[in-house]
Structure formats: structure tokens, C-alpha cells
A and B are shown apart, each in its own frame.
Chain A
Amino acid sequence: GESVGLHLPTLSVQEGDNSIINCAYSNSASDYFIWYKQESGKGPQFIIDIRSNMDKRQGQRVTVLLNKTVKHLSLQIAATQPGDSAVYFCAESAPSGGSYIPTFGRGTSLIVHP
């Protein structure tokens, strides 16, 4: 899967605020979802994942919410810090012929102001 096209939406927050980044996915057969963080000039880094049999999963300062009814995924970052500034994108994976090829969202640029 691939995601190309328009420039990225941007979310600007103040340091200490909570951030919510949203993602709409397209395939109702997708059963595994990941949020990635990509800092400028670096490869994407795994943040948190969730399987379709769950609707919420928490990590350290991050929470992922999954709403399968409306095919919506969100990433919540608590007490956002300047180091959280990056592009965040979601990925959905559906089984296909014994393998998985994920589809990546367009990404959201998070800017944290000190």
C-alpha cells in the first residue's frame, strides 16, 4: 500500500497540552494498526500498535483509540513536549494471501511550541 499526494495537515499545540491526531482508514478487513513518528530527516519509528479486537491501548504518554464502526483511529499524546514535534502517521494492515502489505496514512505534522 502507499500514500502519496497532498501536503500534510498540521497540528500546533503548546507544550504541556494534550494532542490528538486522527486517522481514517479505508479497509474494513484491516485488523492491525500502528502509529509511527517520523522526525525530520529520519526513518519512521514505531510508537504504538493496536489489534482490531481492542478499542484502546495505552503506552507511556500515548494512547491509541480504535473505532471500527466508523473506521477511525486516533493517537493521544499527554503533556506534549517539544521533542514530540514530528510527523505522525498511521498504518493499517489487512491479511492478504498469507502476507500483509500495510497502507499508510498521509501523516500529520505536529508542532509543539515551548
Chain B
Amino acid sequence: SQTIHQWPATLVQPVGSPLSLECTVEGTSNPNLYWYRQAAGRGLQLLFYSIGIDQISSEVPQNLSASRPQDRQFILSSKKLLLSDSGFYLCAWSWPPGGYTFGSGTRLTVV
């Protein structure tokens, strides 16, 4: 069966520090992968999606970047975090005909 792993679960980082969130998927090959951000009490905002290795599409221009160095690995990064980067980050992979399976999420607090 397919599983998705996302870590860390929580992270407190100072402003200006770098960020690296990792997501891996098991049990499937060539998945479409996504990074979403969810502000408290709000909906899901699509940040990046990837249809293959080194193929990244950005939905929202911002202080973040994404990379996909391996088929089942998706990484969300920042060189210098801003206070506004705080939020709940979710990784997901999609399966036909349009379903998503989400990771457990990372709560990022920038202080």
C-alpha cells in the first residue's frame, strides 16, 4: 500500500534561518507531488507541484522553493525564513481520478 511520510512534525526557527522540509512517498512510482500551506483556520493554499524528477511548478511566488531530487522525494526549502512563513505545511500525492493523500503535516513557527 502507498504511504506518505513528512517530517519534522513541528519546527521552530528564527527569522533569517534556512528551512528544509522533507516528504517521501512509498508504494508508488512517478507520483504527482504537492506542497500546500494552511494558515490557522483557513483553507489549503497550493505552493508547488511536481509531475516528475526536477519538474517543479510554482503556484505562488514567495520566499520558498521546492526540489524533487528523486522520484519519491519532495523537499520544501527556504534560504531565509520570514515571520510570514509560519504555518502548517502539508505534502500530498495524487492518484487518479483526482484524489489526494496527505502527509501528517509540519507545524512551522518562525520566531
Contacts and interface: CB of A to CB of B under 8 A. Distances in A.
Given A1-B46, A7-B41, A107-B43, A43 B98 contact: no
Contacts of A91: 98, 100
Contacts of B45: 2-4
> What interface size band does chain A fall in?
20 to 34
Contacts of B88: 41
Contacts, number: 81
Interface string A89-114: 10101110001111011110100000
**How big is the B interface, by class?**
20 to 34
Interface in B75-111: 88, 90, 94, 96-105, 107
29 contacts: A2-B36, A2-B43, A3-B44, A7-B42, A32-B98, A32-B99, A34-B100, A36-B102, A41-B105, A41-B107, A42-B105, A43-B102, A44-B100, A49-B99, A89-B43, A91-B98, A93-B97, A93-B99, A94-B98, A95-B97, A100-B96, A100-B97, A100-B98, A101-B94, A101-B98, A102-B100, A104-B43, A105-B43, A106-B43
Interface of B: 6, 32, 36, 39, 41-46, 49, 51, 59, 88, 90, 94, 96-105, 107
